[in-house]
A = this chain, B = another copy of it.
């Protein structure tokens, strides 16, 4: 069995790694870190683990010291990850960083959105962990920067259009909506039940840190600069994300032609489903699964294309994608541990 460590095991992406790996045929969680509950068995602070395989929680420092493991997942806040990466790599572990610290190629761009990077050299070593775009490079990587949830939903939604001459990438508008788990597990007034339930609002308008990551990857794919007008919103549900994407067409295009572009692009992809005409993606149909559902429609009245993508922000948008990356890095079947059905309802 492959041994995995989870740094930040008691945040939401850490918990989701525990859940997914518990059903993985080739991996076992060998240890986890938690600032708040270090020193306890995981099952003590996480009653949902009772009766299942338990493990000790310790501090990040303890966990990184002489680790007896094969792979490390860093489910930590940005900044905290950066300084752990090189020590872990040097002990021979493969590292998947779920924070933003290994996603951007450019240290200056990082500094602009997050502040100075703590170890800029790792940026050159990391592969951006979106398997649908960088699969072969991920297979050979020992360090992967796991994408943000919004960028995963947006890049998967936009990528197939980037090669087409009839799409005006200069008009790209992205309106995204995320469940509240995306805000993390810390106690905050804004994400308390009474403040965020029965409520809906935009947040982080113009300043969301996932923007540079989207633009970096879309620009690489397109071969020329792509800018995103991006507005995130908070949905009163725990899990799930929808991105609604608008692009101007430069000439009349049949919706069927565009849909075929998507179907061709994603036919072999194990975790991307292109929905048929008239069927729209719902977070309910991907809850708990590593799948992304995508619909494409053309507004003939106005000559724009509308793409809608849905995924579970904690799975395909974080921990499931991280396990998918681990499978690739470890030479396992890419879908191992990830083929369960969504939970409906």
Q: What residues of chain A have their CB less than 8 Å away from a CB belonging to chain B? A: 12, 15, 18-19, 22-23, 46-52, 171, 173, 175, 177, 179-181, 185-189, 191-203, 205-206, 227-229, 231, 233, 235-240, 242, 244, 246, 248, 270-271, 273, 275, 279-289, 291, 293, 295, 297, 299, 301-302, 304, 306, 308, 310, 339-345
In the complex formed, the residue of B with least CB distance to A291 is B51
CA distance A284 to B47 in the complex (A): 9
- Rounded to whole angstroms, the CA-CA distance of A23 and B336 in the bound complex is 12
Residues of chain B within 8 A of A242, CB atoms compared: 200-202, 233
Least Cβ distance of A192 to chain B in Å? 5
Q: Inside 8 A of A246's CB, which chain B residues have their CB?
A: 173, 175, 229, 246
Interface contact B235-A235, CB-CB below 8 Å: yes
Q: Closest residue to A198 on the B side, CB-wise? A: B237
- The reply to whether B194 and A185 form a contact with Cβ atoms under 8 Å apart is yes
Contact A175 B236 (CB under 8 A): no
A47 to B282, Cβ gap below 8 A?
Answer: yes
A-B contact pairs, 26 of them (CB 8 A): A19-B342, A23-B23, A23-B339, A47-B293, A51-B271, A171-B248, A175-B244, A177-B233, A188-B192, A193-B196, A197-B197, A197-B198, A197-B237, A197-B345, A198-B237, A201-B242, A202-B244, A205-B297, A205-B308, A206-B301, A206-B306, A227-B302, A231-B308, A238-B345, A288-B343, A343-B343
Q: Judging by beta carbons under 8 Å apart, are A275 and B47 in contact?
A: yes
> Given A205-B306, A229-B302, do A236 and B297 touch, yes or no (CB 8 Å)?
no
Partner of A201, one of B197, B206, B310: B310
Query: Closest CB of chain B to A276's CB: distance in Å?
Result: 9
- Interchain nearest-CB distance for A186 vs B (Å): 8
**Pair B198/A345 contact, Cβ less than 8 Å:** yes
Contact B284 A23 (CB under 8 A): no
Are B48's CB and A285's CB within 8 A? yes
Q: Does A343 contact B19, Cβ atoms closer than 8 Å?
A: yes
